[in-house]
Structure 1
Amino acid sequence: MKILMLCREPRLYSCQRLKSEAEKRGHSMDILDPNRCLLKLSSNRPHFDVYYQCNGKENCYLLPKYDAVLPRFGTASTQMGCVVLRHFVAGGAISLNDDQAFLRARDKWQSLQLLQQAGVLVPQSILAGSEFSAKSAVAKMKTPTILKTLNGSQGIGVMLAEKPQSAVSILETLKEAKVVTLLQDFIREAKNTDIRCFVIGDKVVATMLRHGQNGEFRANFHRGGSAEKITLTIDEQQIAINAAKALGLDVAGVDLIRSNQGLLVLEVNASAGLEMIEKTSGVNIALEMIVCLEQKYQLLNNK
Structure 2
Amino acid sequence: MHILILCREPRLYSCQRLKTAAEKRGHSMDILDPNRCFLKLIPNAPHFALYYQRNERDVADLLPKYDAVLPRFGTASTQMGCAVLRHLTAQGAVCLNNEQAFLRARDKWQSLQLLQQASITVPTSGLAGCEFSVKHAVAQASMPVILKTLNGSQGIGVMLAEKPQTAASILETLQQVNVPTLLQDFVKEAENMDIRCFVIGDKVIATMLRQGQHGEFRANFHRGGVAKKITLTMDEQQIAIKATKALGLDVAGVDLIRSKQGLLVLEVNASPGLEMIEKTSGVDIALEMILYLEQKC
Question: Which residue identity lines up with residue 151 of structure 2 in the other structure?
Answer: N
Q: Which amino acid aligns with 1:45?
A: A
Query: How many residue pairs were aligned?
Result: 297
Post-superposition offset of 1:44: 2.3
Name the counterpart of 2:219: 219
Q: Secondary structure, in 3 states, of the residue corresponding to 1:194? A: strand
Deviation of 1:48 after TM superposition, in Å, equals 1.3
Offset from partner CA, 1:20-46 (integer Å, 9 cap, x none): 000000000000000111111111211
1:28 counterpart residue number: 28
SS of the aligned residue for 2:248 comes to coil
State the shift of 1:64 in Å.
Answer: 0.2
Query: Which residue of structure 2 aligns with residue 171 of structure 1?
Result: 171
- Name 2:41's counterpart in structure 1: 41
Q: 1:197 matched to which residue of 2?
A: 197
Mapping of residues 53-64 of structure 1, within 5 Å: 53-64=53-64
Distance (Å, rounded) in 2 between the aligned partners of 1:101 and 1:286: 20
Q: Secondary structure at the match of 2:178?
A: coil
Aligned to 1:144: 144
Q: In the TM superposition, what is the alpha-carbon distance from 1:57 to its structure 2 partner? A: 2.2
Residue type of the alignment partner of 2:68: A
Deviation at 1:56, TM superposition (A): 3.4
Does the alignment pair 1:51 with 2:51?
Answer: yes
The answer as to 2:206 corresponding to 1:187 is no
Q: 1:215 deviation in Å?
A: 2.0
Matched, 1:242 2:242: yes
Counterpart for residue 290 of structure 2: 290
- Structure 2 Cα separation of the partners of residues 113 and 255 of structure 1: 16
Partner of 2:233: 233
In structure 2, how many angstroms separate the alpha carbons of the residues matched to 1:60 and 1:10? 19
Partner Cα distance (2:118, 2:12) in 1: 34
Cross-structure match for 1:96: 96
Cα displacement string for residues 134-155 of structure 1 (whole angstroms, at most 9, x for unaligned residues): 1101111110000000001000
- State the 4+ residue runs in structure 1 displaced beyond 4 angstroms: none
What's the secondary structure of 1:168's corresponding residue?
A: helix
Which stretches in structure 2 are left out of the alignment for 5+ residues? Answer: none
CA distance in 2: counterparts of 1:51 and 1:170, whole angstroms? 42
Per the TM alignment, residue 242 of structure 1 is displaced from its structure 2 partner at its CA by 0.4
Any idea what SS the aligned residue of 1:100 has? helix
Greater shift in the superposed pair: 55-64 or 208-217: 55-64
SS of corresponding position for 1:230: coil
TM-score, normalised on structure 1? 0.97
Aligned to 1:301: none
Q: Unaligned regions of 5+ residues in structure 1, if any?
A: 298-303
RMSD: 0.6
Aligned-partner Cα distance in 1 for 2:56–2:141: 50
Q: Who is 1:124 aligned against?
A: 124
- The sequence identity of aligned pairs, in percent, is 79
AA aligned opposite 1:276: M
Show CA shifts across 1:98-143 (max 9, x none).
Answer: 0000000000000000000001100000000001011101111110
TM-score, reference length from structure 2: 0.99
1-structure distance, mates of 2:177, 2:42: 40
Q: Give CA-to-partner distance per residue, 1:56-75, whole Å, 9 cap, x none.
A: 32411100001000000000
Tell me which amino acid in the other structure corresponds to 2:238.
Q
Partner of 1:114: 114
- Measured against aligned partners, the alpha-carbon deviations of 1:242-282 in whole angstroms (never above 9, x if no partner) come to 00000000000000011100000000000000000000000
Q: SS in structure 1 opposite 2:272? A: coil
Q: Which amino acid aligns with 1:295?
A: Q
Q: What displacement does 1:184 show?
A: 0.1
